[in-house]
Amino acid sequence: MKIQLPAHSPLATNTFTYGVATAAFQIEGAADQRLPCIWDTFCAQPGTISDGSNGLIACDHINRWRDDLALIEQLNVDAYRFSVSWPRVMHADGSPNHAGLNFYLALLDALGAKGIKAYVTLYHWDLPQHLEDAGGWQNRETAYKFQAYADLVSRTFGDRVHSYATLNEPFCSAYLGYEVGIHAPGIACQKAGRQAAHHLLLAHGLAMQVLQKNSPNSLNGIVLNMSPGYPKTQSLEDQEAAALAEDFLFHWYAEPLFNCRYPARALAHIPADAHPHIETGDMEIIGQPLDYLGLNYYTRGVYHADPATGFGETIPNGAQVTDMGWEVFPQGLTDLLTGLNARYALPPVYITENGAAMKDQLRQGEVNDQSRLAYFQSHLRAVHNAVAAGVDVQGYFAWSLMDNFEWALGYEKRFGIVHVDYATQKRTIKASGHALAAFFGSRSRD
Ligand code: IFM
């Protein structure tokens, strides 16, 4: 199967940015060359990671990055999105870790030499453990520590970076990490979750200030994950449940960024004693202009009214699901983009992650992952449809470059377009990777 889009589509030209994405903790390994982070601590607690694994070696990318870069080049991408490991580049006293910074400088220079644009995420969940020991994202001070980290990185990287994202998916850091406790640091408390979310957003705003000063020519923004909500039935109750789920789960992040406030429906749903403490001026810091919005899309949510919790979620009968149990629903990406465009004054949008975990089989040196390939085809078409409907989408990144550590699900879930044999660290480009490379390489100049 080939990936195809209408010839007239902006997505079929070289003006549209295509890339692959990774994150530091998920691929780097070499944990002995950095400070411990909250995910090291979390993984060491029995029962937290389904296969009992950790990120100590991961894809050994720190030692194999040149080979990985050669793979990236073979994929014909315009851009590579990766994250910087805060505990690798800063000592606990805030001074620079030059060995860590030099790793990223070498990677950035090599990307530049190959003409591949660097999309750098500053925070993809690996908070230094010493900061968690001081309260982590529940502690307002962490937002200012993040600003200092953003300052160090952006001054060091100079003009090598095409785009910065302050945070990747603050929902996951705050909600999964502090509100329900299935991610590091494993705290399950609504007040903690909502306070962590506020401090993450504040950290984003403070970091934007230094990025716009130190790196005015890069595209500076944030990456949010969103699964649009659909009512299970057309009853008013289910429609209200779907709207509440969206506000509670993702407009909680978008509304402060674009309108300097938390969504009223979600605030009314959360008990007053779990509301975040907000200081004067915080919302204006959070809501300063973005050069772009990064959106990570995987699936939708189907919701019904639940008197106890406000909303409950179901997977529709007969739905096609990925190995994560997530429904394959490309129309959700079009609906999400058009819906956001109607609700907010959006800057240019990049799909910073999209992809699927599938049960891959390596047979005779090949992975024939046709279902993942179909997923990419249908979701690229969904982005095309959103652009045709007037949404300014300028790029798309496949998640992920290669199989990697899928957080609480360890190494059992494979999202890569490149297969990784963890015993040998051998990489094999899957059929989806070959098809994407052919499509990226076939685009017209425009
Ligand atoms: O692997 C993650 C990534 O780190 C963040 N976005 C979702 C991906 C798949 O779960």
- Is 444 a residue whose pLDDT tops 90? no
Residues near 16 by Cβ (< 8 Å), separated by ≥ 6? 10, 394, 395, 396, 443
pTM: 0.99
313 included as an active-site residue:
no
> From the CB of residue 289, how many other CB atoms can be counted at a distance below 10 Å?
12
353 included as an active-site residue:
yes
Q: Which residue has the tokens 């529709």?
A: 316
Q: What percent of the chain has pLDDT over 70?
A: 100
* pLDDT tens, residue by residue, 157-211: 999 999 999 999 999 999 999 999 999 999 999 999 999 999 999 999 999 999 9
245, 312 contact by CB (below 8 A): no
Expressed in angstroms and rounded, the spacing between residue 78 Cα and the centre of ligand 1 is: 21
| pLDDT score, position 105 | 99
User: Is 293 a pocket residue for ligand 1 (Cβ < 6 Å)?
Assistant: no
The CATH number for 10-441, chosen from 3.20.20.80, 2.40.50.180, 3.40.50.2300, 3.40.109.10, is: 3.20.20.80
* pLDDT tens, residue by residue, 246-298: 999 999 999 999 999 999 999 999 999 999 999 999 999 999 999 999 999 99
419, 367 contact by CB (below 8 A): yes
Q: State the average pLDDT for the chain.
A: 98
Taking Cα atoms as reference points, which of 125, 166, 102, 121 lies closest to residue 40? Answer: 125
183, 177 contact by CB (below 8 A): yes
Please tell me the distance from the alpha carbon of residue 366 to that of residue 364, in angstroms, as a whole number.
6
The residue to mutate among 123, 169, 171, 401, having the most atoms of ligand 1 within 8 angstroms of its beta carbon, is 169
User: Is 227 a pocket residue for ligand 1 (Cβ < 6 Å)?
Assistant: no
Expressed in angstroms and rounded, the spacing between residue 406 Cα and the centre of ligand 1 is: 7
- Is 61 a residue whose pLDDT tops 80? yes
Expressed in angstroms and rounded, the spacing between residue 356 Cα and the centre of ligand 1 is: 10
- Which atom of ligand 1 is found nearest the CA of 124? 4
Q: How confident is the model at residue 3 (pLDDT cuts 50, 70, 90)?
A: very high
Q: What are the residue boundaries of the structural domains of the chain, listed by start?
A: 10-441
User: Is 169 a pocket residue for ligand 1 (Cβ < 6 Å)?
Assistant: yes
Helix H or strand E encompassing 269: helix 264-269
User: Is 123 a pocket residue for ligand 1 (Cβ < 6 Å)?
Assistant: no
Give mean pLDDT, residues 372-397.
98
Q: How confident is the model at residue 316 (pLDDT cuts 50, 70, 90)?
A: very high
Residue closest by Cα to atom 2 of ligand 1: 406
